[in-house]
Amino acid sequence: MLNPSEADARINIDQLLREAGWDPADKQQVRTEVPVSLVPVPLNFGEVADAAEINADILKSGPKRADYVLHSSDGRPLAVIEAKKNAIDPYRAKNQALPYARSIDAPFIFLSNGDAIYFWDYHNGDARPVASFYSQRDLERLISQRKNSKDLSLIPIEEEYIRAGEVRFLRPYQTDCMSALDSAFLLGKRRFLIELPTGTGKTDLTVLYIKRLLEAGHAERILILVDRESLAKQALETIQDLLPGYSSYWLKAGTAPQHKQITVCLLQTMMSRFRSFSSGYFDLVATDEAHRSIYGAWRASLDHFDAFHIGLTATPAQYIERNTYQFYQCENDQPDFSYPIEEAFKNKYLVPYKFAEGITELLSDPFEENGEEYNPSEFERRWTNPATNELMMKEFDRLSHENFKELAPGLTDKDSPGKSIVFAITKNHATRLAKILNDLHPEAKGNYAEVITSDVADAQGLIRKFKRDPYPRVAVSVGMLDTGFDCREVLHLVMCRRVRSPILYQQMRGRGTRTAPHIKKKGFVIYDFFKNHDYFGDTDDHPFTGTGMGSGSGGDGPGSGGSPLIELDRDDRWRERVTYVEVGPEDVRIDKNEYRSRWEETISAAQTSDPIIAKIKSGEDLTDEEQDELSRRLNENENYFNEENLRNAYKTPIGTIIDFIRAALGMVKVKSREEQVDENFRAWLVSHQFTQEQASFLSLLKNRGIANGHIELSELFEPPLIHSNAPEKVQQLFGPDIKEIVAEMNSSVFEATA
């Protein structure tokens, strides 16, 4: 008879097996209490510390039974599951399970107590924690890959490829990166972080390496995660161009998985979809802007997949949090591969820039209102007005027409002054700036400048139009074009807003660095009306790279090593704290509770009359076309219902339009902050190998963090923790490591929901 604790664990294990697609009642798939005749372990068996000790136990033990055996579709043993009661860390059962697996020739082992699960490919490494059991198809696929894959070290890296109809050559740093990826893969390093400056071909490099793994038989299912629709479209276009022989698709929030070889997905979408996949479903997960994707709620979707992870970032190493390095198993807090932006400029893989001289610079000191951090709307009202807006646009317009020939000799007069991006403070500000530019160019009939924000109909269509058509010449944006936007022809960047994040500043600057040989692009100009480059010490001759080496006189900016760094999402955190949502081109303020009420009333009223919403209500999957049409129609509503505004209204960094529709229909509940913290905490625990006692104590700290928004070590010496001898327990369980653990909990568990 099983003791009650182990019986409870097996109830949980049965449910976890069902979630991974197994049927515990089907004895052709899952057998329990399977008799095994133990086979001695070879003394040179490297994966087990003491094979002789295991063999001694085998000789003196009687008949044994494997708790579970999972079988393939043709009846072969695939994996043994060793079940332990909840209080026992299942990792300790390795030596017990190994002889069972070897005796029946099962290549894999799972160790579980009903909560934690370890997967052990014992011929190729140690047991590692996973979020779910593998499916039958996952395990069969792994066996097939082992039999049919080719040695990467014997396959030459192709030096040229065809992209968009033209022959391109791998650059030396791209070849070096692929070689480094090969080495990591062959050595069993399961995570790899790449730092490449914006414009140096991260997408092409990633897809070409995916092609290499697919052709060598080391991967069959690929996931590419991005955080913007424009990046999803760009990734899918690159995949279909470079890998036409492999099936691919974009998994959207309300659509059904198509189970093709390559899946492109928004990180926000995967947050609500990852549990529908087993941990072994994908062989490789490539994540763009990886430094932003491993925190809190976001990290859960990455930790879920037990795959070879490739992280991509343009953020300089010194601004990447240690959590990122830990997730990607980097040594010495450095990316596995990096290529400095200075080298890219020197070798002409990126085009240089210069700052427009003699332009009016507006006062850009930090601005506070009632003690709050930078408030974009208040900042706009204080520092801009019709006169200053007109002054900025006229100066930019005059200078851009004067110098475009110097920047791109391949442009003709009818294309002057080339493509430009204007970074505005708010949606209202963007509208005003675009109107001024259109008034300056009546010949374009209102098409010279376009506002591209989340509150315009078909923003992605406008982005495509900006890239491909003569008009608009100028894209005026708030947020959407700051990062993850690729248009090689951009010659002018106009900063009409304050920037204090070194990460964001470099990403915005990177919108102009791409080469464009077809227009003979030699460089680009930055029109910085708010002295951001002075703050960062950024100059034409010494680009700011986050190392403090800029030669400008920026006061207390990072270039001169003064003020604390401001993170990329500071504006987002401010927006979560305020009580209203700013919507539409005029930035109308609507109370968040009122906005949610309007949303829920709109969706509730449409659940019978709108066929697409009715499909969502009935649990049916949408087509891509239906989801796109619904998103467009909702954003055309006078309340500008879109994901960005709804996330602000619901005070959550995650959620898709489908999630918010389901919430309005009462089908799901938008998670409270406490629920988000709990989910973040569980995901964080999975990524660490804490003992049960350590995890229980950290759970107490987590509860304090929920109450206060963060954890302070001083709380250990205050009620109620002091009454349970918290300081002594901390010393026993963690020693001096507790400082680092608390700092990591604050950034990974709490800050994502602040």
pLDDT bucket at 355, cuts 50 / 70 / 90:
very high
- With respect to residue 689, please indicate whether it lies within any of the assigned structural domains: yes
**377 and 507 together in one domain:** yes
Report which of 696, 695, 705, 700 is spatially closest to residue 749, judged by C-alpha positions: 705
User: Tens digits of per-residue pLDDT, 585-629?
Assistant: 877 889 999 999 999 999 999 999 999 999 999 999 999 999 999
Which of residues 330, 346, 362 is at a domain's end?
346
**460 and 383 together in one domain:** yes
CATH assignment at residue 405 = 3.40.50.300
**159 and 54 together in one domain:** no
**142 and 168 together in one domain:** no
Q: What is the C-alpha to C-alpha distance for residues 584 and 592, in angstroms, rounded to an integer?
A: 15
Cis peptide before 417 (omega within 30 of 0): yes
**144 and 163 together in one domain:** no
**337 and 377 together in one domain:** no
Sheet holding 262-266, edge to edge: 248-251, 262-266, 222-226, 284-287, 308-313, 191-195, 337-338
**22 and 121 together in one domain:** yes
The CA-atom distances, in angstroms, between 302 and each of 131, 236, 259, 567, 687 are 10, 20, 18, 22, 10
Which of residues 148, 167, 193 is at a domain's end?
148
The CA-atom distances, in angstroms, between 504 and each of 345, 356, 481, 603 are 19, 20, 11, 36
- With respect to residue 659, please indicate whether it lies within any of the assigned structural domains: no
Q: What is the C-alpha to C-alpha distance for residues 228 and 403, in angstroms, rounded to an integer?
A: 33
Task: Evaluate if residue 754 carries a pLDDT over 50.
Answer: no
Q: What is the C-alpha to C-alpha distance for residues 477 and 456, in angstroms, rounded to an integer?
A: 11
Helix (H) or strand (E) holding 79: strand 77-83
Average pLDDT over residues 74-85: 95
**119 and 20 together in one domain:** yes
Q: When comparing pLDDT for 255 and 458, which is higher? A: 255
Domain hosting residue 735, numbered range:
673-753
What pLDDT does residue 550 have?
45
Q: What is the C-alpha to C-alpha distance for residues 93 and 95, in angstroms, rounded to an integer?
A: 6
What pLDDT does residue 172 have?
96
Please give the angle made by the CA atoms of 422, 425 and 429, to the nearest 5 degrees. 80
Of all residues in the chain, what percent carry a pLDDT higher than 90?
A: 53
What pLDDT does residue 338 have?
94
**131 and 230 together in one domain:** no
Looking at the 3D structure of the chain, how many domains does it have?
5
Name the most confidently modeled range: 141-150, 319-328, 567-576: 141-150
**285 and 334 together in one domain:** yes
pTM for this entry: 0.85
The CA-atom distances, in angstroms, between 178 and each of 118, 175, 209 are 30, 5, 7
User: Tens digits of per-residue pLDDT, 665-703?
Assistant: 999 877 766 777 777 777 677 667 677 788 878 887 777
Q: What is the C-alpha to C-alpha distance for residues 471 and 465, in angstroms, rounded to an integer?
A: 7
**175 and 114 together in one domain:** no
Task: Please check whether residue 239 is in contact with residue 303, taking contact to mean a CB–CB distance below 8 angstroms.
Answer: no
- With respect to residue 324, please indicate whether it lies within any of the assigned structural domains: yes
Mean pLDDT score across all residues of the chain: 85
**97 and 21 together in one domain:** yes
- With respect to residue 111, please indicate whether it lies within any of the assigned structural domains: yes
Give the end-to-end CA distance of the chain in Å, rounded to a whole number: 48
The CA-atom distances, in angstroms, between 682 and each of 103, 321, 686, 687 are 35, 20, 6, 9
User: Tens digits of per-residue pLDDT, 689-742?
Assistant: 677 788 878 887 777 776 666 777 777 777 766 766 777 887 888 888 888 888
